[in-house]
Structure 1
Amino acid sequence: MWAKNARAAARRARENEELRAVGLTVPSAAGAMAEARQDELDAIDPGWCPAWYTGWQRCYRLVQDHIQAGGTLPTDAGDVLVQGEDLGRWVSTQRFGWEQLLPVQQWILENTLEITPAEEDERPVKRTQDTMWATNLTAARQFHAREGHLRVPRKHVEQLETEDALSDRQCGADGAAVVKLGTWLDNVRKRAAKLPEQRRADLNALGMRW
């Protein structure tokens, strides 16, 4: 009960500070915790009264418990699932979203779980519209070369094995890149009037049915 009341008092003090910062009148300081008292508690445990989403706290504790039980730090989605939480995905999200974390969250992750921000060379390369078009066009050409036409069923999925495609699309179970070719061609038809001339020509060369 004391801990619950203390957290409520700290939150009230923080809300009062935010009101003062924007020049608004604080309705009452009653029940708000003194700043000195907050500092004393922070010195004992920086996470005693976090201002962030409770789901973050839950996943943090689950990861901490997992490590204390002898497990290794999960780093990839699907590595460790506990109580319905994907701990690997959570850790990865913290690393790649480091700049969005509060300083105290960063401190906790670094000093208790040894989680560090992702390096630049770890960050996924953002796909441009041109690279996505090139990947889909490669799939269309592969289908045409094999089938002799481009009459692709709506639900057809083409698998590519080129290195470029592997970096642009989700990989299937056999390591091939998965391209939802039928869906893509349907979408292209719907925006045919806005396509650049070269893109229309590339598809026309494959016998595209508009």
Structure 2
Amino acid sequence: MPPLNLSPHDSSPPTQKHPLTSPVTPTPGPARPTLTTTDTNPRDRKWAANLAAAKQFYEREGHLNVPRKHVETVLAEEGWELQFRLGAWVSNQRSRAATLSEDRREQLSSIGMRWS
């Protein structure tokens, strides 16, 4: 082992002078949640997730008069808590009613969406 140089001009600790002899492998974190849908289009997956949040809100509250700033927390199948800006989303769907597909309008109407 080489002698330690502890001169006043050397500010790095001795352990930082020698490179690592074995590579360090980072420990992977928890897996990111995945939505359980068969859609491959990201917009369709996002629509399905927001629709699920709207259904949850409707089942709990009995209406879809969601305050504009409301954030809905949904528990995914994997155990993750996902948060959706549901108030803004519902408001946007109402304002885009004329351009929504018939299928999407029916999905929202079936859970109690009032369009005006």
Task: State the alpha-carbon separation in 1 of the partners of residues 104 and 46 from structure 2.
Answer: 13
Greater relative contact order (Cα < 8 A, sep 6+): 2
Task: State the alpha-carbon separation in 1 of the partners of residues 112 and 83 from structure 2.
Answer: 22
Report the number of matched residues. Answer: 86
Deviations 1:145-167 (A, max 9, x none): 11111111111110000237x7x
Q: Once the 2 structures are TM-superposed, how far is the Cα of residue 186 of structure 1 from its aligned partner? A: 1.0
Match status 1:185 vs 2:97: no
Identity of aligned residues (%): 49
CA RMSD across the alignment = 3.2
Task: State the alpha-carbon separation in 1 of the partners of residues 104 and 47 from structure 2.
Answer: 9
Residue 48 of structure 2 corresponds to which residue in structure 1?
Answer: 134
| Pairs within 5 Å for 1:73-88 | none
Name structure 1 gaps, 5 residues minimum: 1-67, 70-113, 115-121, 167-174
What letter corresponds to residue 193 of structure 1 in structure 2?
Answer: A
Q: Once the 2 structures are TM-superposed, how far is the Cα of residue 127 of structure 1 from its aligned partner? A: 6.5
Name structure 2 gaps, 5 residues minimum: 1-15, 18-23, 25-30, 35-39
- Give the one of 48, 66, 74 matched to 1:160: 74
Classify the secondary structure of the residue corresponding to 1:178.
strand
Residue 197 of structure 1 corresponds to which residue in structure 2?
Answer: 102
TM-score, normalised relative to structure 1? 0.35
What letter corresponds to residue 151 of structure 1 in structure 2?
Answer: N
Task: State the alpha-carbon separation in 2 of the partners of residues 147 and 191 from structure 1.
Answer: 23
Match status 1:148 vs 2:62: yes
Q: Once the 2 structures are TM-superposed, how far is the Cα of residue 136 of structure 1 from its aligned partner? A: 0.1
Q: Which aligned runs of 4 or more in structure 1 are off by greater than 6 angstroms?
A: none
